[in-house]
């Protein structure tokens, strides 16, 4: 597992270096513009970019054919992909919470720290974990198409609901009346469930894959 992640890091060393520089520039710009609250949002994009890069590098070198016969379980190879998403999500959550606790920026939303952490974990992983099983099943190209289609469905769904303002208002009312701790727990629960299901699906797909 460590070996596999090491391989990923050195395989992408140049791209990662570039990514870090870009993130710093964007971060710097954001802070200068006084929009500190936008900083954690970068962590929603990073896992997606990472997964995309890892996938591209793997596909180019056909590395699966090398690591599957090696001393790895297929499950571990899948786990090494998810691990990157989870690590970035946790860093994002810690970053967002510390921003909230130490930055004392008025622009930050008035939310308790655990809600911020839960939201970060959810937002940073959700897209990746929907995408990963699709990528394992259909390959990166088709998965992207399916994902775009999925995006439109979700978009259509929300614009339909958006038309129904009373429904939204009532949902928001209900949510606000709930204890924020319960909301936090619910978000964490949904996140864990999504990640778990996604991981199990990916493992099952990858276990049957032939190279």
Question: Could you list the residues that contact another protein (CB under 8 A)?
Answer: 2-4, 6-7, 10-14, 57-58, 60-63, 65-66, 68-73, 76, 208, 210-211
Q: Find the shortest distance in angstroms from Cβ 61 to another protein.
A: 5
Using the minimum distance from each CB to another protein, give the nearer residue, 13 or 35: 13
Give every CB contact of residue 175 below 8 A, 6+ residues apart in sequence: 183
Q: Which residues contact 47 (CB under 8 A, 6 or more apart)?
A: 84, 85, 88, 89, 124, 125, 127, 128
Minimum Å gap between C-beta 53 and another protein is 11
188 token code pair: 């964490």
Q: How far is the CB of 10 from another protein (least distance, A)?
A: 4
Angle between helices 113-163 and 165-177 (to 10 degrees): 160
| DSSP three-state, residue 108 | coil
Closest to another protein by CB, 117 vs 203, is 203
Dump strand ranges (E) for the chain: none
In terms of CB distance, is 76 or 180 closer to another protein? 76
Q: How far is the CB of 33 from another protein (least distance, A)?
A: 35
Q: Which is nearer to another protein, 30 or 57 (CB)?
A: 57
Cβ atoms of 110 and 97 closer than 8 Å:
no
Residue 104 or 208: the one with the smaller Cβ distance to another protein is 208
Please, which residue, 4 or 42, has the CB nearer to another protein? 4
**How many CA atoms lie less than 13 Å away from 174 in the CB half-sphere?**
6
CB of 145 to another protein, least distance (A): 25
- Cα gap 119→114, rounded to integer Å: 8
Least distance in angstroms from the C-beta of 176 to another protein: 49
Query: Is residue 191 within 8 Å of residue 121, measured between CB atoms?
Result: yes
Distance CA 95, CA 192 (A): 20
């Amino acid at each position: 597992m460590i070996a596999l992640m090491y391989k990923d890091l050195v395989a992408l060393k140049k791209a990662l270096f570039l990514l870090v520089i870009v993130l710093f520039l964007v971060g710097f710009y954001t802070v200068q513009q006084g929009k500190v609250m936008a900083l954690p949002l970068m962590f929603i994009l990073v896992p997606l970019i990472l997964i995309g890069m890892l996938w591209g590098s793997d596909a180019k070198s056909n590395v699966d054919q090398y690591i599957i016969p090696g001393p790895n379980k297929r499950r571990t190879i899948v786990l090494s992909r998810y691990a990157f998403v989870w690590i970035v999500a946790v860093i994002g959550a810690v970053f967002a919470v510390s921003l909230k606790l130490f930055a004392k920026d008025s622009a930050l939303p008035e939310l308790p720290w655990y809600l911020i952490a839960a939201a970060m974990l959810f937002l940073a992983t959700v897209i990746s974990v929907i995408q990963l099983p699709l990528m394992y099943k259909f390959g990166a190209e088709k998965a992207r198409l399916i994902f775009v289609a999925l995006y439109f469905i979700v978009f259509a769904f929300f614009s339909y609901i958006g038309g129904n303002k009373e429904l939204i208002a009532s949902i928001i009312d209900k949510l606000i009346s709930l204890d924020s701790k319960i909301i936090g727990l619910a978000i964490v629960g949904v996140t864990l469930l999504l990640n778990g299901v996604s991981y199990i699906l990916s493992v099952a797909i990858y276990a049957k894959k032939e190279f």
